[in-house]
């Protein structure tokens, strides 16, 4: 300030005070016209200043109504304010998002642009801030989150359906190959043998023709039950065709082949169809050993096991019809 200005101020002190008041009035008018809540509060939560928008946000008619309240009264979660003050003790500004509760009990989300004003002796003199209502954004985010969750659940169901056989609950062909390849990689790391069994229900077409497809389905479900109950949980089992099943089992070298087939044969022999005492379940099987250190496509082994299975089936037919 120049010497002339200081002389003029001394001659007209009232004019300077009027200019200061005019500036303050313009500032207050600006704050009142802002479309956001503006506040000043003390450390203990007392309102010092508030604009009309903030009053309406919190469910009051006038800013003066807030001076009878404490900031803490509006927090849905009191710990939110504790966290904010803790952050402001080491930072001059924070921009948290949290829920508030209006005087009528309704909740809404806000983003708080808060600034700590230091006292001359240190600590906080007061807190100035701007509150923006972000309820619409939070609602949209929540809807999007729920939609994405539903989509994830739907995709998982579709993926499971695409890998599972709906009648037996076993893997379908795609699921068997998918999990089977993983099993072969594990066996290679563990240096274990894999045994691939190809199984076909004998005379299923004749059963369907004589007893109906519902009884044929019982045989298919029976085979699935036998395989699940007699094999290990880690074994990969699948229905890979109409009456065809496959098993990929990891066993120690030289001791798994016979026991694997005998357990399946025992389960098949013990199976009975309720209401059809004369009907017997019969299957033909082919088994190949897979050395995981000599990795080939699973299709090659399946084709070989399929060939061995049909050899057993033809042998049965020759025994039943020796002519």
**Which pLDDT score, from 0 to 100, does residue 302 have?**
85
Contact 38/50 with Cβ under 8 angstroms? yes
Q: Using one digit for the tens of pLDDT, what is the confidence trace for 167-213?
A: 999 999 999 998 998 888 888 888 888 888 999 999 999 999 999 99
**Which pLDDT score, from 0 to 100, does residue 190 have?**
83
> Any idea which of 1-10, 33-42, 251-260 has the lowest mean pLDDT?
1-10
**Which pLDDT score, from 0 to 100, does residue 246 have?**
94
Q: Which CATH homologous superfamily contains domain 165-320? A: Reverse transcriptase/Diguanylate cyclase domain (3.30.70.270)
Buried/exposed 158-195: b ≥16 CB within 10 Å, e otherwise: eeeeebbbeebebbbbebbbebbeebbeebbeeebbbb
pTM over cut 0.75: no
Residue 17 has pLDDT above 80, yes or no: no
Contact 198/279 with Cβ under 8 angstroms? no
Residue 106 has pLDDT above 70, yes or no: yes
**Residue from 217, 243, 291, 306 carrying the catalytic annotation:** 243
Residue 60 has pLDDT above 60, yes or no: yes
Report CA torsion sign: 250, 202, 298, 177. negative
Q: When comparing pLDDT for 317 and 270, which is higher?
A: 270
Residue 49 CA to residue 64 CA, distance in Å, equals: 9
Return the H-helix or E-strand segment holding 100: strand 97-101
**Which pLDDT score, from 0 to 100, does residue 186 have?**
86
Active site residue 200: no
Q: Using one digit for the tens of pLDDT, what is the confidence trace for 222-265?
A: 999 999 998 989 899 999 988 999 999 887 666 566 788 888 99
> Any idea which of 4-18, 23-37, 119-133, 144-158 has the lowest mean pLDDT?
4-18
The ranges assigned to domains in the chain are: 34-138, 165-320
Q: Which CATH architecture has domain 34-138?
A: 2-Layer Sandwich (3.30)
Half-sphere exposure of 218 (CA within 13 A, CB side): 15
What are the φ and ψ backbone dihedral angles of 104, each rounded to 5 degrees?
-90, 5
């Amino acid at each position: 300030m120049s010497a002339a200005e200081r002389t003029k101020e001394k001659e007209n002190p009232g004019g300077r005070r009027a200019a200061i008041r005019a500036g303050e009035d313009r500032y207050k008018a600006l704050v009142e016209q802002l479309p956001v809540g503006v506040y000043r509060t003390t450390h203990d939560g007392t309102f010092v200043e508030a604009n009309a928008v903030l009053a309406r946000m919190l469910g009051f008619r006038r800013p003066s109504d807030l001076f009878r309240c404490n900031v803490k009264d509006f927090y849905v979660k009191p710990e939110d304010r504790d966290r904010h003050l803790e952050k402001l003790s080491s930072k001059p500004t924070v921009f948290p998002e949290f829920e508030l509760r209006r005087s009528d009990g309704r909740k809404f989300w806000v983003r708080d642009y808060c600034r700590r004003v230091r006292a001359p002796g240190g600590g906080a003199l007061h807190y100035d801030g701007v509150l923006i209502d972000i309820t619409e954004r939070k609602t949209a985010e929540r809807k999007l989150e729920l939609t994405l969750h539903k989509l994830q659940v739907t995709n998982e169901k579709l993926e499971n359906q695409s890998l599972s056989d709906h009648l037996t609950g076993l893997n379908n062909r795609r699921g068997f190959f998918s999990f089977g390849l993983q099993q072969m990689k594990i066996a290679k790391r563990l240096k274990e043998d894999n045994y691939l069994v190809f199984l076909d229900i004998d005379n299923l077409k004749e059963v369907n023709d004589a007893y109906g497809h519902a009884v044929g389905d019982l045989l298919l479900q029976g085979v699935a039950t036998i395989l699940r109950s007699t094999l290990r949980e880690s074994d990969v089992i699948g229905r890979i065709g109409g009456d065809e099943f496959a098993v990929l089992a990891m066993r120690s070298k030289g001791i798994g082949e016979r026991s694997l087939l005998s357990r399946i044969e025992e389960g098949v022999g013990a199976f009975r169809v309720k209401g059809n005492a004369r009907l017997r379940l019969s299957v033909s099987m082919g088994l190949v050993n897979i050395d995981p250190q000599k990795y080939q496509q699973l299709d090659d082994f399946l084709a070989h096991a399929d060939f061995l299975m049909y050899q057993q089936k033809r042998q049965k037919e020759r025994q039943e019809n020796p002519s």
